Amino acid sequence: MPELPGKRSELPYTDPGRSPEERARDLLTRLSLPEKVGLMFHTVIEAGPDGTVLAGPGAISKHGTRDTVVGKLINHFNVHALTDPVSAARWHNAVQQLAIEETPHGIPVTISTDPRHGSVTNAGSSWSTPFFSHWPDPLGMAAIGDQDLVRTFGDTVRREYRAVGIRAALHPSADLATEPRWCRQRDTYGQDPHQAGELAAAFLSGLQGPTVTTESVAGTVKHFPGGGPQAGGEDAHFPYGQEQVYPGGRFADHLAPFRRLTDAAAVMPYYGRPVGLELHGEQVESVGFGYSTQIVTDLLRGELGYDGVVLTDWELVNDNWVGDQVLPARAWGVEELTSEQRCERILAAGADQFGGEECVELLLDLVARGRVGEERIDASAHRLLLVKFRLGLFDDPYVDEDVAAMLPRDEDVAAGRRAQSWSTVLLQDRGVLPLVPRSRQRVYLEGVDPGEAARLGEIATRPEDADLALVRLATPYEPRDDLFLEAMFHQGSLEFPPGLVVRMARLARQCPVVIDVDADRAAVVTPLLEHATALTVTFGVSDAAWLDALTGIEPPRGRLPIELPRSMAAVRASREDVPGDTHDPVFRYGFGLDLPGADPKLTRTS
């Protein structure tokens, strides 16, 4: 582990006996303008092979690590792919050493990440990481509905992140899953404002605690003031999804979870621009939330009393080109502004940090020309320094590779697998459950690991030879691949294609069929009911954990955290901001069956 270089111990900011507030104020007076401006950018960084730092650009990062850390003086980074825990820790220490030894005041870096403990990798929202324990998606945690379990999960995330040097989480999401087509439901705690607030607060408690300390991972609550009511379910990452609408007048529902989360180290506004929204009798300007003084300063800082860091979502200032694809800057409602004007407006709205940007020269020029005052820079730089001091990064920035090598702990892996089983929601059973292993039973599989299913019997390669079929399906979506990242976000229709339904019907004529739907969105499961002997929905559950649930090793406890619509016609007729608004849903919020023979004391009632 690298040693800390000798520091000017007589200076107040280097004295660990002083409060974080005193140290942040003292250091702020000593920083040059470029150092202060560097604090205000939070961009993507990628690890090199075997824990090295990248000398040149990466797959997404535009510059080499040294150019960014030493040249631009940026020290907040969102890390992408990590291959193994030792390399991750070694890379973190190398980046930390670069910042501490080669920048004027040795400001340590803060490494952040999107969620890493689930099953899905999406470069725009999550990274499934093999050396961390795997847990259900937040939607699955909402299906269990246990605050203590969510708090335990938050603490597990905290320990595992800290072991490799990750000290800031770009989560939890406090959005509501009120629009069935919206692609980011997986990351929410469901459609109910009260439960979403409770569970997001429980996760934040385990991750960060009531205040940021040297033991914390700093949490970033998103997407303020609620990213769920997307017009037509289209996501605000993309130009066609920029509108957030409130036809049911339920803005207060979407804001409600955030009222419980003002202890978070950071808050991230969403990309969307509100259409037809009024607050306190005043029309809210239809611009992206990160550009809105009414949302960031008046509502978040004023009404909610929040004084932490406001971090914008990624790339509000500049277009992002990756290879031959582009993702336009999410400057919704202010597209006509120049990059300089967008930067100026974001600061005027009240944000402290530019997510996904590294255009420090642009902000320096705005200050030089008198368009942004240095006192405005100081206000944000102070908030950002304060978090670093509270985390203890100035005193203990490095991590121990030997500790990282012990990831993941067996007990954490087991706890995550149990939670996955518990989160399974049983929707239908016609007498086939619980599944029982039989020596001569032949099992046909679609979408299920044969190594896991072998516990039930022999694997059949043809349906006509099977005594039982196990099928796991993904929620339908419409593939898109024009804009960068677009292919990774599942959007559009929730209906299963007719060919799949016909195939399930044919399979059901051969043997009993147990069907599971991985519900990253609210799938229309109606046509499956006729053909499924048993039907479940899951939220990021492994084959092993799913079979544990269906065999009764860990019986399912899940209750639907979102309703499942009867048809796409019902979805299209529903109001985007209203929880549970589709007509005559095939399964309502809170529905779930107990496994036959399971101890009812272990299952949650609907």
HEC profile for 578-592? Answer: CCCCCCCCCECCCCC
118-129: average pLDDT: 87
Helix (H) or strand (E) holding 400: none
Q: Give me the pLDDT at residue 524, please.
A: 98
| Residues 154, 546: Cα–Cα separation, whole Å | 22
| Residues 442, 465: Cα–Cα separation, whole Å | 7
Q: Tokens at residue 526, please?
A: 């109606």
pLDDT category of residue 598 using cuts at 50, 70 and 90: confident
pLDDT in tens, 17-73: 999 999 999 999 999 999 999 999 999 999 999 999 998 888 888 888 999 999 999
| Residues 190, 198: Cα–Cα separation, whole Å | 11
165-180: average pLDDT: 98
Looking at the chain, the whole-number percentage of residues with pLDDT higher than 70 is: 97
Question: What's the CA dihedral at 4, 8, 14, 16 to 10 degrees?
Answer: 80
| Portions of the chain given CATH number 3.20.20.300 | 12-404
Looking at the chain, the whole-number percentage of residues with pLDDT higher than 90 is: 91
pLDDT in tens, 460-518: 999 999 999 999 999 999 999 998 889 999 999 999 999 999 999 999 999 999 999 99
Q: Give me the pLDDT at residue 60, please.
A: 81
Angle at 518 (CA atoms; ends 515, 521), nearest 5 degrees: 125
- Asked whether the predicted pLDDT for residue 6 surpasses 80, the reply is no
| Portions of the chain given CATH number 3.40.50.1700 | 413-602
Architecture of domain 12-404: Alpha-Beta Barrel (3.20)
Q: Give me the pLDDT at residue 449, please.
A: 98
Active-site residue, from 114, 187, 235, 313: 313
- Asked whether the predicted pLDDT for residue 602 surpasses 50, the reply is no
- Asked whether the predicted pLDDT for residue 603 surpasses 50, the reply is no
- Asked whether the predicted pLDDT for residue 605 surpasses 80, the reply is no
Q: Give me the pLDDT at residue 313, please.
A: 97
- Asked whether the predicted pLDDT for residue 9 surpasses 80, the reply is no
pLDDT category of residue 10 using cuts at 50, 70 and 90: confident
Told to judge if 313 belongs to the known catalytic residues of this protein, a careful annotator would answer yes
Architecture of domain 413-602: 3-Layer(aba) Sandwich (3.40)
Q: Give me the pLDDT at residue 599, please.
A: 62
572-580: average pLDDT: 98
Tell me the whole-structure pTM to 2 decimals. 0.96
- Asked whether the predicted pLDDT for residue 4 surpasses 60, the reply is no
Mean pLDDT of the chain: 95
